[in-house]
Structure 1
Amino acid sequence: MAFTSESLKVFLAVLDGGSFSAAARKLGRVPSAVSMAISQLEAELDMVLFDRSTRKALPTAAAFALEPQARRVASQLNLLDAHALQLHQGLERRLTLAMAPELQTGAWSRPLATLAREFPTLEIEVRSASQAEAVRMLHEGSVQLALVFERPGIDERETFLEAGSQLLVAVAAPGSPGADQDHPLAEEQMSNLRQIIVATGEPTGSDPRVVLSHRVWLTDSYLATLDLVQAGLGWAYLPQPLIQPLIASGALSEVVFDNMASRMRLWVDIVWIKNRALGLGAKRYLELIREQVKAEPRRS
């Protein structure tokens, strides 16, 4: 085999340095060793790779033809080495997170870009799940981390990281009951007006603080909820980052209550199981979340 990981490294170093002496400095070797390695490679390939008629090592047409593939192979070798090291350090094959649908438009997805850069071989799976479903999957072991709204109590088998907050806004289509700033909804009107929530099976699948009506429609995503609200079929609490542009454009209106604010800030926890070791990717994700929380307003 002509090209090995070692000869590939020398070949690219000469290409980048423009001479054997420059390549030798980069590799920490003497120029004669670099020259010998290139000569051996040329002999095995039966072709000249560098013109030595001047003090510089000028690449031949053959060297230029081999360069793109050589760089791709070198990149793959570096990736393989990094992956092996990360596996040794405890990198999981796949990091699976369950997120309440209301949280997928918030800051909790941002650290995934850093994970993709730092651990390019790590598979990421994000599952949309109601609060109850996310916790169930966590205890079953099908996800490593669950992002849910803060609960009144916590299971002793769990541990958690407070991960900031999400602002939910009560919205309806313009012209719908409750969307008129001059006619706030009384409590009895609110409880009888159809509310659309994200939950599966029963309204109890959602956070009980956001279920205010006796008449409820369920969806499995906030985008489906948004479509129904825009069609004038009910009102809903939706994440502020999602609906703020629609409120600004007049496509949605905030619901006006006469006894409470239309905006509700809920705190968010990332939960995992105490006796289940987290992999390198999950640990790094938690570190990145901690860094984000420092920039958020503190709980009053």
Structure 2
Amino acid sequence: MAFTSESVKVFLSVVDGGSFSAAARKLGRVPSAVNMAVSQLEAELDMLLFDRSTRKAIPTAAARALEPQARQVASQLNLLDAHALQLHQGLESRLILAMAPELQTGAWSRPLSTLAKEFPTLEIEVRSASQSEAVRMLHEGSVQLALVFERPGIDERETFLEAGSQLLVAVASPDHPAAAGKNSPLNEEQLVNIRQIIVATGEPTGSDPRVVLSRRVWLSDSYLATLDMVQAGLGWAYLPQPLVQPLIATGVLTEVVFDNMASQMRLWVDIVWVKNRPLGLGASRYLSLMREIVRSGPSRF
């Protein structure tokens, strides 16, 4: 095999430096050693790579033809070295984040572009799960981080980062019974019998209990599917304010008016992980990037 990781490095150093002496300085070697390495490579390839008729080392046409692939090989070797070092430092092969369906928009995705640049070999997986399911997967160890609404109690096995908040608005189509509350606010007895569409998976209890107000519930794991059902007059729902505000402004949707509480609800969002399970390099970096986002100003989901 003519080309090795070492010969590729020497070859490119001479191409970039323009002479054996410049390549030697870059590699920390004497020029005669660089010249010998190149001569050995040329002998194995049976072709001339550099014109030595002057004090400079001028790449031949063959060298220029080989250069692009040599640079690709060097890049891959550098990536391999970096990956090996990151694994040694604790980089996980895959970072898995579970989140409640209600939180699939917002600041949580902003750190991913930085992670992709800093750890190009790190695989990222985002799983949609109900709040209770996301926490269960966290404790089972199948995910490293869970993005959930703030819970009333504290689990001593967990630690968390407050990542922002989400403003939910109760909305219905203008001709839906829930929309009649604009003139006559809905009381609790009326509300429990009007169908509510909840963004959750599995069971309504998988969602934040503050969001579930009706006995008659339909479930969806997608904001867009929920929005379609609300617009079709199939029920009312709590949906993110940025999603529904343009539709309210144009009269496509209307806010549901309650007689004992506001139609808008702000819920705080936490990123949770398990205390006694060390986080990998990717998860730790993700949290540090989220902390920077939180410090820079209010984060909205």
Task: Give the TM-score normalised by the residue count of structure 1.
Answer: 0.89
Aligned to 1:262: 263
Q: Conserved in 2, the CA contact under 8 Å of 1:170 and 1:238?
A: yes
Q: What displacement does 1:210 show? A: 0.9
For 1:280, the equivalent position in structure 2 comes to 281
| 1:187 Cα offset (Å) | 2.2
CA deviation profile, 1:234-268 (whole Å, cap 9, x unmatched): 22112234444555665544434454333221111
Aligned to 1:135: 135
Counterpart amino acid of residue 7 in structure 1 = S
Matched with 1:118 is: 118
Matched residue type, 1:132 = S
What is the rounded CA distance, in whole Å, between the counterparts of 1:15 and 1:245 in structure 2? 59
Name 1:193's counterpart in structure 2: 194
1:35-73 Cα deviation digits (max 9, x unpaired): 332222111111111223344433222112212221111
Confirm or deny that 1:214 pairs with 2:181.
no
List alignment gaps of at least 5 residues for structure 2: none
Partner of 1:83: 83
Aligned equivalent of 1:36: 36
Q: 1:252 to 1:23 in 2, by over 3 A?
A: farther
Question: Superposition pairs for residues 34-113 of structure 1, below 5 Å?
Answer: 34-113=34-113
What is the deviation of 1:181?
A: 9.2
Q: 1:45 to 1:250 in 2, by over 3 A?
A: farther
Q: Which amino acid in 1 is paired with 2:144?
A: Q
Contact persistence 1:178–1:184 (CA under 8 A)? no
Rounded Cα–Cα distance in structure 2 between residues aligned with 1:62 and 1:250: 69
| Structure 1 match to 2:165 | 165
Question: Quick one: structure 1 residues 107 and 270, their matched pair in 2 at CA, closer, same or farther if it must change by over 3 Å?
Answer: same
* 2:19–2:56 Cα contact (<8 Å) kept: yes
| SS of corresponding position for 2:192 | helix
Q: 1:178-236: per-residue Cα shift (whole Å, max 9, x none)?
A: 55795364224443332110223321111011112232111223232222123221221
Deviates more, 1:50-59 or 1:63-72: 50-59
Change in Cα spacing, 1:102 to 1:47, as seen in structure 2 (3 Å) is: same
Q: Which amino acid aligns with 1:260?
A: M
Letter of the 2:167 partner, please give it.
Answer: L
Alignment size in residue pairs: 298
Asked if the contact 1:178/1:185 (under 8 Å) is kept, the reply is no
CA change 1:248–1:7 in 2 (3 A) is farther
CA 219–249 in structure 1, closer or farther in 2 if over 3 Å, else same: same
- Asked whether the 8 Å contact 2:229–2:235 carries over to 1, the reply is yes
Q: Retained in 2: the 8 A contact 1:146–1:271? A: yes
Q: Is the 8 A contact 1:90 1:279 kept in 2?
A: yes
Contact 2:178–2:194 under 8 Å retained in 1: no
Larger displacement relative to structure 2 (68-77 or 240-249):
240-249
Query: CA contact under 8 A between 1:2 and 1:45: conserved in structure 2?
Result: yes
Taking only aligned residues, the RMSD between alpha carbons, in angstroms, comes to 2.4
Q: What amino acid sits opposite 1:53 in the alignment?
A: S
Is the 8 Å Cα contact of residues 101 and 200 (structure 2) preserved in structure 1? no
2:14 counterpart residue number: 14
- Structure 2 counterpart SS, 1:269: strand
* Distance in 2 between residues matched to 1:48 and 1:250, nearest whole Å: 76
Cα 1:222–1:28 shift into 2, 3 Å: same
1:95 aligns to what SS in structure 2?
strand
Question: Which 4+ runs in 1 deviate beyond 6 A?
Answer: none
Distance 1:127 1:180 in 2: 37
Which deviates further from its counterpart, 54-63 or 111-120?
54-63
CA contact (8 A) 1:8 1:70 kept: yes
Distance 1:31 1:261 in 2: 79
SS at match of 2:120: coil
3-state SS, counterpart of residue 115 of structure 1? helix
